[in-house]
Structure 1
């Protein structure tokens, strides 16, 4: 289940009850970084039946025990940062070009063709960047085989033992890059064995196919959405957009259309506080307060009868 932000108006407990979850729930708060252990409110909200997997702390312990792996991991992260920087430079130019094209006066059919070509170039750049990230990750895994190293294997064994007795895994938000990093370091996706996953904010982003960073009106000036990396793909075919109340200009039809066309056929779902939607066997259901962004620049609440079929972007 994907949910909206939980900080001020938590709905996680109600969602767990709605799903009939009766038993221990593993929690992942690694996105909170050094505040990972400050989960008493979450523990209380879920009926004092949570077990925090402490992925952030476990990573620190593993790296202290294995300096070679730590150094290699830091080098990998540095490569990813460089890749992100160069991607961002190219992306800014492509987005600027798209903006200029949309302002030009031309016969409608020509303008439509050129705008489609511009969006196609942005999509190709996004896919290229995702491919570069995957290449860096696969090279690291092949060279270091972290799951086979004692420093990581010990923690994975402990995590697997904890998960064996749980009915669900609750993945909180926070710093999405840190969260995704820790989820991947310990291979959490591969350790899930029938547990229901409840994820909100950055947690929802991390379990999708791709992680998209976005803010239409950041303090430093005009914002540009950018792809960060592949997600865990536990929930496929959507781009979760948490905190739309403060991060998206949903009244700007051009921005909405560009977002929807850029990531189609995946469906862009704005997830405000209190929102939730289930995902089971490749299908979505039981939507509440979820908004779907469409390629025509509109946004509308997802209805229980909606199939959330993908849209063609061009």
Structure 2
């Protein structure tokens, strides 16, 4: 028997964060079994964008009835019907892209200076002092950027209140009903900002209640307080970690880092040390295949994973 939709905002039950699902979705089924989920599962695959409906393998793996919340398709329908909201959303996104570009220009300069400073042959005490200045400058820039992005979103919400618009409200009701008939929610990875923006548009997690939430990769990232993009060997451009958005803050106190094994150069201890110090007091948690972090009501209940440390290493087997 499934639980009725509650009025509580955000998940109150267990939230399980996982790494990439590379060998099918057996791990998702394992977690559902462990949580004794007996009933339908709501799938949130908006990070797959136009491919969100291709959930057959995932549905088969969970071995339970599934319903796809179709956030990406719903957003396309909303913007087709509501020209005013479409134009306003495009303007908001244009503004946010400009802010991200300006932020990256400034961050790039600070990062270049930080790298140049670390190779100077000066007394260690002076070098450490200069390292800390670089970290402080990055922290200030990250904080300022998030505040500016927050202000853009706040103005948009105040002016447009999308959740109450006739184009959006019926979808919210349908999503609430689907979650109300589900016993758990599974959030796939994919394009992190596409996923985050659509969860916010539809308030898709507002009434999850005590239902378990299982999220992997980008799905895990959106549930934290800050979404940070990182890659030490990107396909193009400089390897410059960037704060791109405030997350949903369901899982506070950590920075989710999917696929650290494939994305982080563990030989660059200086860069890892600077990255960790920059994001403190949050813990930089590696979400590699097989990793698992369980939150309940904003607190870590269980953790089987690694983290990046201020010493510039990946500490395996870390527990909170």
Question: What is the aligned partner in structure 2 of residue 194 from structure 1?
Answer: 210
2:31 is aligned with 1:6:
no
CA contact under 8 A between 1:237 and 1:265: conserved in structure 2?
A: yes
Superposed displacement of residue 31, structure 1: 0.6
Aligned ranges for residues 173-184 of structure 1 at < 5 Å? Answer: 173-184=189-200
Partner of 1:169: 185
1:301 aligns with 2:316: yes
Cα distance, 1:144 vs structure 2: 0.5
- Which moves more between the two structures, 198-207 or 250-259? 250-259
Counterparts of residues 80-159 of structure 1 (less than 5 Å): 80-159=96-175
Partner-residue secondary structure (3-state), 2:303: strand
The more displaced of 209-218 and 20-29 is 20-29
Any residues of structure 2 matched to 1:1-314 within 5 Å, and which? 1-10=16-25, 11-220=27-236, 222-288=238-304, 290-303=305-318, 306-307=319-320
Deviation sequence 1:240-296 (CA, Å, 0-9, x none)? 1111222111232112212211111000011111211211133324333x1111011
Q: How far off its partner does 1:219 sit?
A: 2.6
1:110 aligned counterpart, secondary structure: helix
Cα RMSD, aligned residues only? 1.3
**Distance (whole Å) between structure 1 residues aligned to residue 177 and residue 293 of structure 2:** 29
**Equivalent residue for 1:312?**
none
Query: What is the DSSP-based 3-state SS (H/G/I as helix, E as strand, rest coil) of the residue aligned with 1:188?
Result: coil
Per the TM alignment, residue 301 of structure 1 is displaced from its structure 2 partner at its CA by 1.9
Q: What does the per-residue CA deviation read over 1:191-224, in whole Å, with 9 as the maximum and x for residues that have no partner?
A: 3222211110110111110100111011325411
- Scaled by the length of structure 1, the TM-score of the pair is 0.93
Unaligned runs of 5+ in 1: 308-314
Shift of 1:9: 4.7
Q: Quote the offset at 1:231 in angstroms.
A: 0.5
User: Secondary structure of the residue that 2:23 maps to in structure 1?
Assistant: coil
The answer (yes or no) to whether the contact 1:189–1:234 under 8 Å persists in 2 is no
In structure 2, distance between residues paired with 1:263 and 1:206: 16
Query: 1:162 offset after TM fit, Å?
Result: 1.0
Moved more, 185-194 or 107-116: 185-194
Equivalent-residue separation in structure 1 for 2:48 and 2:201 (angstroms): 16
Residues matched between the structures, number: 304
Distance (Å, rounded) in 1 between the aligned partners of 2:136 and 2:303: 31
2:41 and 2:64 in contact (8 A); partners too: no
- TM-score when scaled to structure 2? 0.92
Q: d(CA) in 1 for partners of 2:228 and 2:199?
A: 17
8 Å CA contact 2:187–2:214 kept in 1: the answer is: yes
Cα distance in structure 1, aligned partners of 2:210 and 2:64: 22
Q: Is the 8 A contact 2:47 2:191 kept in 1?
A: yes
